[in-house]
Amino acid sequence: MPLAAEGLLTQSEAGRVDHDQEKLALVIPTLCEAENIGGLLNQIRSVLDPLETPYEILVVDDDSGDGTGDVVSAIAKQDPRVRLLVRKGERGLSGAILHGWRNTDAAILGVMDADLQHPPELLPKLLSAIQGGRDLVIGSRYTPGGDLGKWNPARKLLSAAAVWVTWPLQRSRLRAKDPMSGFFLVRRSCLDQVPFQQSGFKLLLEVLVRGHIRSVEEIPFAFGLRYRGASKANFKVAVDYARLLARLYAARFGFGRRA
What is the distance between the alpha carbons of residues 136 and 134, in angstroms, rounded to a whole number?
A: 6
Other C-beta atoms lying within 10 Å of the C-beta of residue 196: 20
Is the pLDDT at 228 greater than 80, yes or no? Answer: no
Is the pLDDT at 11 greater than 60, yes or no? Answer: no
**Does residue 105 belong to any structural domain of this protein?**
yes
- Whole-number pLDDT of residue 77: 97
**20: confidence class by pLDDT, cuts 50, 70, 90:** very low
**Does residue 256 belong to any structural domain of this protein?**
no
Is the pLDDT at 180 greater than 70, yes or no? Answer: yes
Total domains present in the chain: 1
What is the distance between the alpha carbons of residues 255 and 124, in angstroms, rounded to a whole number?
A: 42
DSSP one-letter string for 93-151: HHHHHHHHHHT---SEEEE--SSS-S-GGGHHHHHHHHHTT-SEEEEESSSTT-B--S-
Backbone angles phi, psi at 182, to 5 degrees: -105, 20
Domain containing 36: what range?
3-7+15-250
**Does residue 259 belong to any structural domain of this protein?**
no
**Does residue 258 belong to any structural domain of this protein?**
no
Highest mean pLDDT among 89-98, 158-167, 244-253: 89-98
Collapse the DSSP code of 65 into the 3-class scheme (helix H, G, I; strand E, B; otherwise coil) and give the result: coil
Contact (Cβ atoms closer than 8 angstroms) between residue 92 and residue 61: no
What is the distance between the alpha carbons of residues 53 and 247, in angstroms, rounded to a whole number?
A: 37
Is the pLDDT at 259 greater than 60, yes or no? Answer: no
Highest mean pLDDT among 165-174, 179-188, 226-235: 179-188
- Whole-number pLDDT of residue 16: 39
**Does residue 123 belong to any structural domain of this protein?**
yes
What's the Cα-to-Cα distance from 143 to each of 58, 83, 147, 223, rounded to whole Å?
Answer: 28, 32, 8, 12
Q: Give the domain CATH number at 31.
A: 3.90.550.10
**Does residue 255 belong to any structural domain of this protein?**
no
Q: Of all residues in the chain, what percent carry a pLDDT higher than 90? A: 58
In this structure, of 12-21, 32-41, 125-134, the range with the lowest mean pLDDT score is: 12-21
**Does residue 231 belong to any structural domain of this protein?**
yes
- Whole-number pLDDT of residue 156: 75
- Whole-number pLDDT of residue 136: 98
Q: Of all residues in the chain, what percent carry a pLDDT higher than 70? A: 85
List pLDDT tens digits, range 76-132: 999 999 999 999 988 888 999 999 999 999 999 999 999 899 999 999 999 999 999
Is the pLDDT at 224 greater than 80, yes or no? Answer: no
**Does residue 126 belong to any structural domain of this protein?**
yes
